[in-house]
Structure 1
């Protein structure tokens, strides 16, 4: 069963999903090995991977860095409530957050809060600096709540591509 992504003009079939599963495990896999894993010829596999990249299905090829080994041992979850529910306020906040290197993830959410941030810093002082220089300077923030992560139970970047598998 193929999955059509009309906004990207890309259709994902069973082989595309198998390719994506393998690339999520190891994006440095050689094309010849990838082709063997998914049951394609190397040229056909390379063509599919190129189409998936050009279609925006594969957004980026990255290396995941251990935050602690990079000196960022604190992960904080910050819930943000904006003063008003307005698109222009959300847009300005989003632009500010895109420039904040401490924020590794930002989600606009529903419910009691408007945004959820994942902030990764080396220590509490660095977080306090982020709060003073980024959050407290935005007068459109009504309030925010910070939770400190005690440990990572699960961190996964791969998405489940099993839907539609037969």
Structure 2
């Protein structure tokens, strides 16, 4: 980041992560700025890419996604073509919520939500196993959610 975040920017970020639907007036009141100054700061944070996107979090089970699976995928070789194809395909799969290229025993870790075991079997056989270069897939099923946060810690000091 080229510009440092001051205490107002950090306070704005903390509040927006807790409530992205807060009105500019209420945000400005909480931060201690005028509404115009607050709006300019939020616009700047957005333009600088510090605010990545505005969204609403939805309970997966409310939409019928009863399983959360962490999938470790290992590719045959670290070939650029396989890597690019794998990453492009994974980006297109709506059930994949996160995908990370990692070090260790796998090349990628995916967090997937899926309705049930039959749907997971179909997801593997029709999507993951059809990708070129996939060598090994290991799955871990979440038993329960212990902690789920989306807010990045903000130091207000």
TM, length-normalised to structure 1? 0.91
- Segments of 5+ residues of structure 1 without an aligned counterpart are none
Match of 2:79 in 1: 86
For structure 1, which segment, 147-156 or 83-92, has the greater mean C-alpha deviation from structure 2 after superposition?
Answer: 83-92
Structure 1 residue 112 displacement after superposition: 1.3
1: CA distance, partners of 2:59 / 2:92? 21
Matches within 5 A, 1:1-166: 5-6=1-2, 10-162=3-155, 165-166=156-157
What's the CA shift string for 1:12-51, capped at 9, x where partnerless? 2111111000000001101111011111111000000001
User: Which has a greater percent of helix?
Assistant: 2
Structure 2: 5+ residue runs without aligned partners? Answer: none
Q: Tell me the CA shift for residue 90 of structure 1.
A: 1.3
How many residue pairs end up in the alignment? 157
CA RMSD of aligned residues (A): 1.0
Greater relative contact order (Cα < 8 A, sep 6+): 2
How far 1:102 sits from its partner (Å)?
1.2
Cα distance in 2 for partners of 1:133, 1:150 equals 25
User: What SS is found at the alignment partner of 1:92?
Assistant: helix
Q: Could you list the runs of 4 or more consecutive aligned residues of structure 1 that deviate by over 4 angstroms after TM superposition? A: none
The 8 Å contact of residues 69 and 140 in structure 2, kept in 1 or not, is answered as yes
Q: CA deviation at 1:133?
A: 1.0
Secondary structure of the 2:68 match is: strand
- For 1:103 and 1:17, locate their aligned partners in 2 and report how far apart those are by CA, in whole Å: 31
